Amino acid sequence: MMFAHGFGCDQHMWTAVARAFEADFRVVLFDHVGAGQSDLGAYDAAKYASLDGYADDVVEIGRALDLSDAVFVGHSVSAMIGGLASVKAPGMFSDLIMVGPSPRYVDDDDYVGGFSHAQVEELLEFLADNHLGWSAAMAPVIMGNPDQPELGAALEQSFCATDPEIARQFARATFFSDNRADLPKITARTLVLQCREDIIAPPCVGEYVHAQVPGSRYTLLDATGHCPNLSAPEQVTAAIRAFV
């Protein structure tokens, strides 16, 4: 069972939920390039300009671990990344659990994503403007020893570490993505987990994903905010357990 974190955090956001499945599954956690303890040197602005680059990484991890018929659990943008990976590597993931997914954040004609183009631009501007304010709090903690990051990790656990520049590009790739056409291609057994109140992926978007992914199931969680894996981990755990 592979867990993937979304924009803004790292694999730590899955700790509570993943622990519940350790007895029954081989649990795989990872940080996307640019987040957490990932190798920032592996970042390639061209590759990660779209979600495909991130999906390729998921497939690469799956191949390295020789996964077949595995369960993929993706939060936020990683729900869509998992969907893309499942299409790229048929047979790797039999089950796909999408927590707070959105195939497109920006409204388009009849489609309601919840964001306007101007709002996404404002978000990107905000991330750029607050470079220093965010980097101080979020930058990976490396205690003056860049050659041995593991020392930093041992000294101070840093949650949700994100390189600010990469975070901004990840935000652009995420919030300007449009993967609506990929949803019908998903053949894995799919569960959509939706929060009651979520400004990033509102219920109407979760319902859209449910309608577009063939044979998918939909569960509305009694949770608010965008991170039920943190605010309501027991509900998320129960919903996944009931599905797999």
Partner 1 sequence: MSSPVADDDLADLVENLPCGYLSLSPDGRVLRINATLAGWLASDATALVGQSIHALLSFGGRIAYETHLAPMLRLQGKVDEIALDLLRSDGGKLPVIANATEKRANDGTHVLTRVTLFKAVERRAFERTLVDARTKAEAAASAEHDDAVLREQFIAVLGHDLRNPLAALDAGVRMIGDRETLSDRGRFLITEMAKSVGRAAQLIDNVLDFARGRLGNGISLTRNAQEPLGPVIEQVVNEIRVASPERRIITSLAIEENVDCDRARIAQLASNLIANAVTHGAPEIAIEVSARTEGGNFILCVSNGGAPIPPAARAQLFQPFFRGAVRRSQQGLGLGLFIVNEIAKAHGGTMEVISSDAITQFVFSMPLTDSRDRSQ
Q: For binding to partner 1 (CB under 8 A), which residues are involved?
A: 6-9, 12-13, 76, 119, 122-134, 136-138, 159-160, 162, 197-200, 224-227, 230-231
Give the active site residue among 38, 76, 86, 177. 76
Residue 226 catalytic? yes
Joined tokens for residue 20: 């519940």
Joined tokens for residue 105: 């954040």
Amino acid at 33: V
β-sheet bridge partners, residue 3: 29, 73
* CB distance 80 to 177 below 8 Å: yes
Residue 76 catalytic? yes
By DSSP bridging, strand 93-99 and strand 217-224 are unpaired
Q: How far is the CB of 69 from partner 1 (least distance, A)?
A: 30
Closer Cβ to partner 1, 7 or 54, answer by number: 7
Q: How far is the CB of 99 from partner 1 (least distance, A)?
A: 13
Closer Cβ to partner 1, 111 or 134, answer by number: 134
Closer Cβ to partner 1, 8 or 34, answer by number: 8
Q: How far is the CB of 226 from partner 1 (least distance, A)?
A: 4
Q: How far is the CB of 197 from partner 1 (least distance, A)?
A: 8
Joined tokens for residue 231: 């605010």
By DSSP bridging, strand 217-224 and strand 189-197 are parallel
* CA–CA separation, 108 and 120 (whole Å): 13
* CA–CA separation, 78 and 76 (whole Å): 5
Give the active site residue among 5, 32, 210, 226. 226
> Which residue has tokens 């943190």?
230
* CA–CA separation, 108 and 127 (whole Å): 24
Q: How far is the CB of 190 from partner 1 (least distance, A)?
A: 23
* CA–CA separation, 101 and 184 (whole Å): 14
Residue 50 catalytic? no
Give the active site residue among 38, 198, 210, 216. 198
* CA–CA separation, 141 and 135 (whole Å): 10
> Which residue has tokens 């449910």?
210
Catalytic center residues: 76, 198, 226
